Amino acid sequence: MSAGTILLIEDEMEIADLLRMYFENEGFTLSHASSGEEGLKRLEGRNPRAVLLDIGLPGIDGIEVCRRIRGASEVPIIMLTARDAEVDKVVGLELGADDYVTKPFSPRELVARVKAVLRRSEERPISPDTVEAGGFTIDNGRREVSTPSGDTIRPTAREFDLLWYMASNRGLVLSRAQLLEAVWGYDYFGETRTVDVHVRQLRKKLEGLPLETVWGVGYRFDA
Ligand code: CA
């Protein structure tokens, strides 16, 4: 049984042949594309478990390919870089690559890195990272909210934590004490009014947010 497909986007045939041998020995199927354009096409059809992506490619380069993959997919990406300067670029641009190796690399090490990345990516919690309600999208990864009119709002850290907690418990009535405990923690000695102040700020920033005040109790998000 195949351990899954790894997509290699690399224009040097020698590297591709070498990696094919190593990955196939480990039970993977290696799908090789020699340009970014071809790689992007294959990504759709083959549904690989991970992508090995060379930066120096003819046509659209690996940086741009990485950006386009990330626009559409969460597949783990390992960048193959030729120089330390490229490593700086990969890290600095925050492209969303999961790891990188610098050429010349040992194929054995690359296989180990791929396995580690696969383990990590498959251990990721499957709880949703966004909640959509009333035309708002609350994005827990980016910690920002897009509004029905298309604006992106970044609440303060505490406001966001409060909003995310309520959105994750949508439809439930949450008391002020409960919210205080969940968002501010057991050790917090503040008053429950603190919750109201933060809710007021959220409502001001996010006009039309489906957040209801439940009189005498607390709040309910998107009932
Ligand atoms: Ca290259």
pLDDT value, residue 82:
85
Domain ranges in the chain? 5-122, 130-221
What are 27-59's pLDDT values in tens digits?
999 999 999 999 999 998 778 999 999 999 999
pLDDT value, residue 15:
95
Instruction: Report in angstroms the alpha-carbon separations of 125 from 121, 122, 128.
Output: 9, 8, 8
Across the chain, what does the average pLDDT equal?
Answer: 89
pLDDT value, residue 181:
84
- In which residue ranges of the chain is pLDDT below 70? 1, 88, 91-93, 123-127, 186-190
Instruction: Report in angstroms the alpha-carbon separations of 86 from 91, 93, 155, 186.
Output: 9, 10, 34, 46
Q: Alpha-carbon dihedral of residues 41, 89, 94, 99, nearest 10 degrees? A: 70
pLDDT value, residue 45:
76
Nearest to 75 by CA among 100, 50, 107: 50
CATH fold match for the domains 5-122 and 130-221: no
Can you tell me whether residue 152 is helix, strand or coil?
Answer: strand
pLDDT value, residue 199:
95
- The alpha carbon of 38 and the centre of ligand 1 are apart by a number of angstroms equal to 14
pTM exceeding the 0.75 threshold for the entire prediction: no
The class of domain 130-221 in CATH terms is: mainly alpha
- The alpha carbon of 58 and the centre of ligand 1 are apart by a number of angstroms equal to 8
> What φ, ψ does residue 7 adopt, rounded to 5°?
-95, 120
Instruction: Note the CATH architecture for domain 5-122.
Output: 3-Layer(aba) Sandwich (3.40)
- The alpha carbon of 55 and the centre of ligand 1 are apart by a number of angstroms equal to 6
In this structure, are residues 104 and 111 in contact, taking their beta carbons and an 8 Å threshold? no
Which residues are within 5 Å of ligand 1 (an ion), measured at CB?
A: 11, 54, 56
- The alpha carbon of 53 and the centre of ligand 1 are apart by a number of angstroms equal to 9
pLDDT value, residue 1:
62
pLDDT value, residue 125:
57
